Chains A and B, each alone.
Chain A
Amino acid sequence: MSSSDPSKLISKADNLTKLSLTRWSADWKTATPLYEQAANGFRVSKDYENAKLSFEKASKGQEMLSSPWDAAKHMESAAALAKELRNWTEVIDFYRRASELYMQCDRPQPASDSLAKAARALEDALPDDAVQLYTDACVILEDDGKEQMAFDLYRAAASIYVKLEKYTDAATFLLRLGLAADKCNARNSQCKAYLSAIIVYLYAHDLQQAEKCYNDCSQIDAFLSSDQSRCASKLLSAYREGDVEEINRVAHSSTISNLDNVIIKLARKLPTGDVAEIKGDADKGVEEALDENDLT
């Protein structure tokens, strides 16, 4: 049976499901296995378009047979084939549908997994959609109370933002990662997330924002007493002094080398732009404040 032509199988299955005068209700029970076999046959012969179609139909059949789990699995296979065909809208649709089916089975983890797979597939082609998918995946996990699994997703989303050069968004994501880590008492990840956020702000050449971020994070005891906060304060003071060598030295220290690869690359490229300029700005800011207070 499996060696017979997949197109014959699929036409047979179609006949079983098409409604006509002789057939008043579609016979999904026999049709679904035929669809599955046809899909496998197509995949082996590398006919991705037809394989994708057959998987779609198989998934629909499983849905009709009230087994959302199998339906979701077929949807995922269809989506993987759509990725081969580089049909990005279909990829998004299929993975989203698969995720919904998984939620129907009351299994949030595979649901977020499929969204994450979608996001990974789209990283290069449609980065904005990818970020959206990552966010949705994280939301699903957080609702289920499994923030620990969300760490990797947050990190991936932040790295996409960095690639898109949207540094404030990246830093926001890293702060969200810190929040999730706080909920699960993952102190090391939390401190690393905060340090990464500060580095991203510095890379965007925004010293005030970086300092504000550092001050905010210092409110948290876990961060305040950690290696990472010491490293951050060294970095910020080096920036304030305008000492390029010191910045380079801190950036090459082992604390920063323990962070994510993308962040390490940013740190090595610090300082961006003219550090003396920042120093001048900072001094000017202080001077202006003095002027305001000067009542004479």
Chain B
Amino acid sequence: MSVIDILTRVDVICKKYDKYDVGKQRDQNVSGDDAFARAYAAVEADIEAALEKAELSSKEKSKASAVAVNAEIRRTKARLLEEVPKLQRLAVKKVKGISTEEMAARNDLVLALPDRIQAIPDGTAAPKQTGGWMSSAPSASRTAIKFDSDGRFDDEYFQESEQSSQFRQEYEMRRIKQDQGLEMISEGLDTLKNMAHDMNEELDRQVPLMDEIDTKVDKAASDLKNTNVRLKDTVTQLRSSRNFCIDIILLCIVLGIAAYLYNVLKK
């Protein structure tokens, strides 16, 4: 067995018996007991993921995928903002084994979270009034519909930015091109369909002819076989060994007579 195999097997066995490792479990349980730490870790992970996606979308060339990614980021942000009040409550709860300084630190962390969440770029142009928003957040019902742009529906909001009009133009152009392409394909398919139908009919036409050929060839083949057998019989009869021997004997007799005459004449 090679070293690699041994290592793999050891890893698998360790993983299997991890649940009996008292030391490891205690560590895990510490954070397991602490719901706040768990939830906070989850939120942190989500924020990191959202930031990554935001970076990707800013590098994105195709407008459509950029828009889709931005929409997803916005959704994530809204969800995270929902989680923040929960985290605040958990932060205030007293957990055993944590010092008062840590509790205060946790509170600060939670307060800093909303700013961090809002800071994730998601492609909306209007600036945000985070303070006003945050003050209403804890008291606002969690089932309220979230607006991305803080409900500021002034003229600027509905004005077509250059980006969006360009995007719309591009969209129209692409749609026209697609329509043209589809038309060409449809024409080609029409021709193919017609050709296929004609081929079908032609083959149908030829089926009875083939059947006729089949019968005729069968008949010819059987006639030929018949003839062959009869020919074989005739030839065998003609050249049977008995006749052959008789031929040889007679030939010898003729040769003998010729030799005898030759001898007689020579003398």
Contact = CB atoms under 8 A, between A and B. Distances in A.
Contacts of A105: none
Interface string A215-258: 00000000000000000000000000000000000000011001
B197 A188 contact: yes
Interface string A256-282: 001000000000000000000000000
A40 interface: no
B204 A186 contact: yes
Which of A148, A185, A187, A255 has the most C-beta atoms of chain B within 10 angstroms of its own C-beta? A148
A162 interface: no
A189 B201 contact: yes
Given A188-B197, A188-B198, A148 B190 contact: no
Given A188-B197, A188-B200, A258 B205 contact: no
Contact of B190 (A149, A184, A189, A258): A258
Interface residues of A, number: 12
B128 to A, nearest CB: 55
A254 B187 contact: yes
A185 B204 CA distance: 10
Given A188-B197, A188-B200, A148 B191 contact: no
Interface in B201-215: 201, 204-205, 208
Nearest to B187: A254
Contacts of B169: none
A254 B191 contact: yes
B204 A254 contact: no
B194 interface: yes
B187 A148 contact: no
A146 interface: yes
Which of B191, B194, B198 has the most C-beta atoms of chain A within 10 angstroms of its own C-beta? B194
B204 A184 contact: yes
Nearest to B205: A148
Contacts of B201: 148, 186, 188-189
Interface string B103-132: 000000000000000000000000000000
B205 A149 contact: yes
Contacts of B208: 146
A255 B190 contact: yes
Contacts of B190: 254-255, 258
Interface in A93-117: none
B202 to A, nearest CB: 9
Contacts of B204: 148, 184-186
A255 B194 CA distance: 9
Given A148-B205, A149-B205, A258 B200 contact: no
A56 to B, nearest CB: 31
Nearest to B197: A188
Interface in B163-222: 187, 190-191, 194, 197-198, 200-201, 204-205, 208
A254 B184 CA distance: 11
A188 B198 CA distance: 7
Interface of A: 146, 148-149, 184-189, 254-255, 258
13 contacts: A146-B208, A148-B201, A148-B205, A149-B205, A186-B201, A186-B204, A187-B197, A188-B194, A188-B197, A188-B200, A188-B201, A254-B190, A254-B191
Given A188-B200, A254-B187, 19 more contacts: A146-B208, A148-B201, A148-B205, A149-B205, A184-B204, A185-B204, A186-B201, A186-B204, A187-B197, A188-B194, A188-B197, A188-B198, A188-B201, A189-B201, A254-B190, A254-B194, A255-B190, A258-B190, A258-B191
Interface of B: 187, 190-191, 194, 197-198, 200-201, 204-205, 208
* 7 closest residue pairs by CB, A with B: A188-B197, A254-B190, A258-B194, A148-B205, A186-B201, A254-B187, A189-B201
